[in-house]
Structure 1
Amino acid sequence: MDKYIDIFKKSYSDYWNYLKYELIDLNHWDNFFYGLIIISLLVWVLEIAFPWRKNQSIFRKDFWLDTFYMFFNFFLLNLIVLIALSNTASELFNDVLSVVGLSLSDIQLFDVDDLPQWLGLLIFFLISDFVQWNTHRLLHRVPWLWNFHKVHHSVKEMGFAAHLRYHWMEPVVYKSLLYIPIALIGGFDAQDVAIVYFFTIAIGHLNHANLGWDYGVLKYIFNNPKMHIWHHAKALPKHVRYGVNYGLTLSLWDYLFKTAHVPHDGRDIELGFEGDETFPKDFLRQEAYPAFSRRQKPHK
């Protein structure tokens, strides 16, 4: 037990030092802090230059709340709990394997170092996105998970920063379900992961932006603003119970598994969920909401 406590404590100091390093070191391209800022500013400029909803303010409803969520969830949440929890769980998983005489390398299907870099990154990206697509479906289908996911669906006006408005429990669920599939393939370094992260952040920002794009024929591969807005629609189609368009980066899974739904131009549809009129409007109460609310079915 002492070992896990030490890992938990060390994770805080290590991540704090890493975060300070990110803030002052501008000499490496895979700087997540400034990478997020640059991507956000670029997508915001696109929103301003090519607005889909012309009457939506540049500083839309909850713009500053979502901006706070963006930095809190992408950086401070790691410092508060995620990195420590992840490192401790990783060590626990390794210890469980050792009990049965195995190590992480014994269960790996292959090592991406044995593959061309582009192929290794593609495999990592496809596995990650597919697992996250399924996890997203669970957030809509399981009532207690839906209670957490309501924070993201409380967005009433879409904009790039809405991408990272989510309850702190969501990444715990995503990372937990993603850990073992990714552990089965090894050999990734930090720069490999950065390439995928920057790409997925950019697509996620664009999906939530005030842009009327669908990327033409590429809409069947990549999620896009015209598709994702239907995921946030307050009124669901009658033939669908739990939602539509679950794709994070790729729309491919929705088309393959028949959960795609883009019936017409959704520019002016109402966003949210049934009963969102009484949903908390500030950060602290939104974070506390799942603990003090009654569990509700995802959709009626």
Structure 2
Amino acid sequence: MEKYLDLIKNSYSGYWNYLKYELIDLNHWDNFFYGLILISVLVWILEIAFPWRKEQALFRKDFWLDTFYMFFNFFLLNLIVFIALTNTVSELFNDVLGVVGLSVSSFQLFDVDELPKWLGLFIFFIVSDFVQWNTHRLLHRFEWLWNFHKVHHSVKEMGFAAHLRYHWMEPVVYKSILYIPIAIIGGFDAQDVAIVYFFSIAIGHLNHANLGWDYGILKYIFNNPKMHIWHHVKELPKDVRFGVNFGLTLSIWDYIFKTDYIPHDGRDIELGFEGDENFPKDFLKQELYPAFSKKHDIKSSE
């Protein structure tokens, strides 16, 4: 137990030092703090120059709430929960395997260091995106997970910052499920992973932006604003119960597994979910919502 407590303490101090370093160091291209700001500003400029919903205000509904979510989830959440949790779960998993004489490397299919860098990154990207696509489906399929995911679907006007509006439990679920598949593939250099991460952030921002793009023939590969807005539609088709268009970066999984749905231009469709008029409107209450969701649901049904 003492080992795990020390690991949590070291994770906190290590990430805090890393975050301070990110804020003052501008000499490396994979600076996540300023990388997020740069991507956000560029996509916001695109929204201003090519607005799909021209009547939507520049500072749309919940713009500042979503901006707060963006920085909280991308940086502070890591400090509060994710880094320590990831390191501890990883160590615990290794210890459990060690009891039976195994290790993570026992399941490793290959070492990406032995592959050309582009191929290793491509495999990492494809595997992680597919696992996250499946995890996204789970968030819609099970009620207790859906109560966390409602935070993201409470967005009523789409904009780039809505991309990172989510409950703090979501990355815990995503990364917990993603850990084993990535461990099986092998280790990755942090700078190499940053390339994939920045690309995914850019696509995610564009998916939620006030842009009417579908990328032409590439729409069958990459998720896009015209496709993703239907994921946020309030009224689902009668033959669909748990959602559509689950793609994060790639849309190809939805086309392969027949969860794609783009019936027409969705520019002016109503966003949200059934009963969202009763959903909390501020950050703290939204974060606490899953703990009191049964109470909320009972009240809303009376």
TMscore range, shorter length = over 0.9
Tell me what 2:49 maps to: 49
Distance 2:97 2:119 in 1: 28
Distance 1:270 1:106 in 2: 49
- Equivalent residues in 2 for 1:185-204 (5 A)? 185-204=185-204
Tell me what 1:166 maps to: 166
Tell me what 1:33 maps to: 33
Tell me what 1:248 maps to: 248
Tell me what 1:238 maps to: 238
Distance 2:94 2:242 in 1: 36
* Equivalent AA in structure 2 for residue 107 of structure 1: F
RMSD over aligned CA atoms reads: 0.8
Tell me what 2:300 maps to: none
Tell me what 2:215 maps to: 215
Distance 1:253 1:28 in 2: 34
Q: CA deviation at 1:104?
A: 2.1
Q: Secondary structure at the match of 1:286?
A: helix
Tell me what 1:103 maps to: 103
Q: Secondary structure at the match of 1:293?
A: helix
* Equivalent AA in structure 1 for residue 7 of structure 2: I
* Equivalent AA in structure 2 for residue 47 of structure 1: E
Distance 2:289 2:125 in 1: 33
Q: CA deviation at 1:98?
A: 1.0
Q: CA deviation at 1:278?
A: 0.8
TM-score by length of 2: 0.97
Percent identical among aligned pairs is: 84
Give the number of equivalent residue pairs. 296
Tell me what 1:131 maps to: 131
2:234 equivalent to 1:261: no
- Equivalent residues in 2 for 1:51-130 (5 A)? 51-130=51-130
Deviations 1:61-87 (A, max 9, x none): 000000000000000000001000000
2:234 equivalent to 1:229: no
* Equivalent AA in structure 2 for residue 26 of structure 1: L
Q: CA deviation at 1:239?
A: 1.2
Q: CA deviation at 1:205?
A: 0.1
Q: CA deviation at 1:106?
A: 1.9
Q: Secondary structure at the match of 1:294?
A: helix
Tell me what 1:8 maps to: 8
Task: Name structure 1 gaps, 5 residues minimum.
Answer: none
Moved over 6 A (4+): none
2:20 equivalent to 1:20: yes
Q: Secondary structure at the match of 2:294?
A: coil
Q: CA deviation at 1:135?
A: 0.3
2:206 equivalent to 1:206: yes
Distance 1:187 1:152 in 2: 31
